[in-house]
Amino acid sequence: MRLSVRLNLSLVAGVTLVSVGIALYQTQSETSALRRDLERHAALLAESLEKSAAPLMAPVSPAPLQVLVNAFQNRQRLAGVAIYNEQAQPIAASSGLAARLEEPPRAYLHSRFFRSRGQLMHVYALPVVVNGAPAGTLALFHDAAYIEARQRALWKNALTGLAMQAALIICLTLLILQWSLRRPLRRLTQWLGEVRRGSAGATPELPPEDSFGPLSREVAQLATTLHAARAAAQEEARLRDAGESQWTAERLRAFVESRAGHCRIFAISNREPYEHIRNNGEVKCSIPASGLVTALEPILRSTDGTWIAQGTGSADRETVDARDHIRVPPDSPQYTLRRVWLTEEEEHGFYLGFANEGLWPLCHIAHTRPLFRAQDWEQYQAVNRRFADVFLEEAAGETNPLVLVQDYHFALVPRMIKEARPDARVAIFWHIPWPNPEAFGICPWQRELLDGLLGADLIGFHIQSHCNNFLETVDRALESRIDRERFAVTRHGHLSAVRPFPISVTFPCGDPPAAAVEDRLALFRNLGVDAAMLGVGVDRVDYTKGIPERFRAIEMFFEKFPSYRGQFTFVQIGAPSRTHIRRYHDLLEEVEQEAARINGRFEAGAWRPIVFLPRHHSHREILPYYRAADLCMVTSLHDGMNLVAKEFVASRADEQGALILSRFAGASHELVDALVVNPYDTGELAEAIHRALAMPPEEKRARMARMRAYLREHNIYRWAGTLIHELISLRLDRPEDRPAPARLLARAG
């Protein structure tokens, strides 16, 4: 059946149902009103007649009563009047009344409608009272056939109106659909054809009505998916043709599917990959900027895995089921996010306290004293136990699960999991530096932390020196056997491999060269700055990032090279971080004051040497700065890797721009064509800025091309694939092979 026929039939049925319902309501309402009017009229007439009949009832005078009833029989719609005595015997009745009644007239003791000889009748009965006592009954009979006639007329009019309304509505609806639906659908059909052929432009605009919202979203998602699939296929074909072996999301997924078999993969992190936030009464899903999400999602999607993370969004509780689960990604659910809820006390002790006032400054040699409090340690232990228990609950019934624990927040989790599930393959990746043994020895609970980490089968760091420091720390603090050739530690009969896995970023495929000059001028216009050359820094406002040192180097640069005044502006994108901790709050004020001081010294007219943007920026907002910048400064005082350096290089499809990179960032071990500096040396930093701006385009292109070639090969998917491969390749210890049962964490060491 054609769509137009089905649509017409649906419209006719809908209009008919609505119109019949309305007609039925109107008919019943008018019929009820007519009946009420008749009853009210009968009551008034009966009361008037009763006053005339009462004097004739004592003594009973049939002749006068008959005259009385005859006087009323010719009234409109009055069929007749009857008067009865106390024995319900008729005393007087209108002539012709008996002929209209199927039964002889009798005393009616109430008001009612009834049917007689096929006609609708109404009777109203009223007692006749003489000297305060009932002496008989007066009954008025009305012909109610006109009510039924009115009903038939109403139905006739309603059905006639129904036919006209149905015809009019159908015509108007078809015209409206022709105008508002067929044209957008025709555009959509043409666009889908272009998508299929690979020549599609922007997504066609659909009408703004709410009903088109889901279709618009699905169409946009379809376009994105098809574009990504086509780009992935083209890239795979290019790589095969070129004999290259670049890792992609699809290759990573296929690799995990082939290696993991039926094993499910679980990820444990403090930060969740998807966050639900209530904004202006509406729940929206946001994706925190994180390379970790990019790396782990293909792994979890390939095995329908589970990501266990703290729920922090304002609407997170509203979106989970009874078991705190939600399927993600929202547009195409392929794995499960299990949210864990922390109290405010746990959040302060575990996260702000032990993790970020203790372990963070302990592992970063940035001259900030770590704070260790017993109550924070208790919360850290409790939260680690909570996450381990959640994993055990989620993995119940799973055989040989793979667990990827992330970062310094969960140093105790590997041991907790391994003791309960020896069959689980457990890896932990430590995303921050590992200090030398003397520095780590400051922590009062170093032995418990090390024992917790050594519960993992695989422990990963960014660079080899961090692996070396970890082995040295274990050797000094714990009773264990160190195998330096295999880079492994054996403790309580369990072997833990220690490996470097330099984390990376995605590498764009087929990006067109950016119009850097035009983009740069547009950015300056938006910032209200008049300049020709752009430098950029992107950091959390953290004391490990060296932002004040960077600003002082820029000040010295303008002192030594005054010709760049009015020409070069440095934009610092700085997301405020952990401002509940006093050190971070004070640092934000220090950075703002330094920028204001230097600007006050050098700014002239519409030019400023430094623009500080203290808010969170999405990757999409940052990308134009990367692509337009003459230089990017990454001057960390101490960093595990620092992905900003790699993001900048990956974004430069034009192979221009220069990277100034701290020797204390892990990225400096890979991006050797950057201008590597000591961030503490203000003079060296100032010279590096001048060298980057004065560098010939050919040298910039050569340096950037080599760094991009390295990142193309060593991208985030290779990091994840290597980590998974190493974990799956490890031989698991059998419990019976161990010399003694593992001791409890509290007795570790």
| Interval 328-352: pLDDT, tens | 998 889 999 999 999 999 999 999 9
Q: State the pLDDT at residue 199.
A: 58
Q: Which amino acid is at 51?
A: K
**Of 269 and 210, the one with more pLDDT:** 269
Prior bond to 329 cis, omega within 30?
A: yes
| pLDDT of 1 strictly over 50 | no
- pLDDT band at 114, cuts 50/70/90? confident
| pLDDT of 533 strictly over 90 | yes
Mean pLDDT lowest among 403-412, 516-525, 682-691, 704-713:
516-525
Which whole number is the average pLDDT over 74-97? 81
CATH fourth-level superfamily of 3-150: PAS domain (3.30.450.20)
Domain ranges of the chain: 3-150, 253-504+729-735+740-747, 516-714
Q: State the pLDDT at residue 51.
A: 81
Q: In terms of C-beta density within 10 A (0-12 exposed, 13-18 middle, 19 or more buried), how is residue 426 classed? A: buried
**pLDDT tens digits, 351-379:** 999 999 999 999 998 788 999 999 999 99
Q: State the pLDDT at residue 50.
A: 79
Segment of 75-84, 209-218, 493-502 carrying the highest mean pLDDT: 493-502
Mean per-residue pLDDT over the chain, rounded: 86
Give dist(CA 148, CA 115) in Å, integer. Answer: 12
What secondary structure, in 3-state letters, does 511-523 show? CCCCCHHHHHHHH
| pLDDT of 108 strictly over 60 | no
Q: State the pLDDT at residue 127.
A: 87
Give dist(CA 152, CA 159) in Å, integer. Answer: 11
Q: State the pLDDT at residue 460.
A: 97
| pLDDT of 411 strictly over 50 | yes
Give dist(CA 662, CA 637) in Å, integer. Answer: 7
Closest-CA residue to 651 (of 568, 538, 545, 525)? 538
Provide the token pair at 136: 């008989």
- Where do we find the tokens 């499960």? 336
Give dist(CA 140, CA 123) in Å, integer. Answer: 5
- Where do we find the tokens 């009361």? 47
Q: State the pLDDT at residue 599.
A: 96
Q: State the pLDDT at residue 554.
A: 97
Provide the token pair at 397: 């019934």
Give dist(CA 589, CA 568) in Å, integer. Answer: 24
Q: State the pLDDT at residue 469.
A: 97
Give dist(CA 51, CA 127) in Å, integer. Answer: 11
Give dist(CA 650, CA 667) in Å, integer. Answer: 13
Which whole number is the average pLDDT over 513-528? 81
Residue 152 gets which letter from DSSP?
A: H
- pLDDT band at 741, cuts 50/70/90? very low
Percent of the chain surpassing pLDDT 70: 84
Closest-CA residue to 337 (of 243, 269, 399)? 269
Q: State the pLDDT at residue 649.
A: 97
Q: State the pLDDT at residue 93.
A: 84
| pLDDT of 424 strictly over 80 | yes
Give dist(CA 160, CA 137) in Å, integer. Answer: 46
Q: Which amino acid is at 493?
A: G
Closest-CA residue to 124 (of 144, 135, 138)? 138
Give dist(CA 491, CA 414) in Å, integer. Answer: 13
Mean pLDDT lowest among 171-175, 188-192, 442-446:
188-192
Percent of the chain surpassing pLDDT 90: 54
Which whole number is the average pLDDT over 373-394? 97
- pLDDT band at 608, cuts 50/70/90? very high
Domains 253-504+729-735+740-747 and 516-714 share a fold: yes
Which whole number is the average pLDDT over 87-111? 73
| pLDDT of 512 strictly over 70 | no
| pLDDT of 87 strictly over 60 | yes
Return the SS3 of 644.
helix
Q: State the pLDDT at residue 676.
A: 98
CB 282 within 8 A of CB 330: no
Its pTM stands at 0.71
| pLDDT of 585 strictly over 70 | yes
Give dist(CA 407, CA 330) in Å, integer. Answer: 26
Which regions of 41-175 does DSSP assign to beta strands (E)? 78-84, 90-93, 112-116, 119-130, 133-143
Residue 351 gets which letter from DSSP?
A: I
| pLDDT of 89 strictly over 90 | no
**pLDDT tens digits, 218-236:** 666 666 666 655 655 555 5
Q: State the pLDDT at residue 104.
A: 59
| pLDDT of 452 strictly over 90 | yes
Give dist(CA 126, CA 44) in Å, integer. Answer: 11
Provide the token pair at 187: 């555009």
- pLDDT band at 217, cuts 50/70/90? low
Provide the token pair at 534: 């752009």
| pLDDT of 690 strictly over 50 | yes
- pLDDT band at 719, cuts 50/70/90? very high
Chain centroid to Cα 651, Å, comes to 27
Q: What are phi and psi of 96, to 5 degrees?
A: 90, -10
- pLDDT band at 557, cuts 50/70/90? very high
Query: In whole angstroms, how far apart are CA 492 and each of 454, 726, 738?
Result: 10, 22, 7
| pLDDT of 249 strictly over 80 | yes
Which whole number is the average pLDDT over 4-21? 73
The end-to-end CA distance of the chain, in Å, is 78
CB atoms within 10 A of CB 644: 27
DSSP per residue over 556-608, as a string?
HHHHH-GGGTTTEEEEEEEE---TTSHHHHHHHHHHHHHHHHHHHHH-BTTB-
Give dist(CA 119, CA 147) in Å, integer. Answer: 11
Query: Would you say domain 253-504+729-735+740-747 falls under CATH 3.40.50.2000?
Result: yes
Q: Which amino acid is at 85?
A: N
Q: What are phi and psi of 75, to 5 degrees?
A: -70, 155
Element housing 129 (H / E): strand 119-130
| pLDDT of 674 strictly over 60 | yes
| pLDDT of 743 strictly over 70 | no
| pLDDT of 243 strictly over 50 | no
CB 272 within 8 A of CB 337: yes
CATH fourth-level superfamily of 516-714: Glycogen Phosphorylase B; (3.40.50.2000)
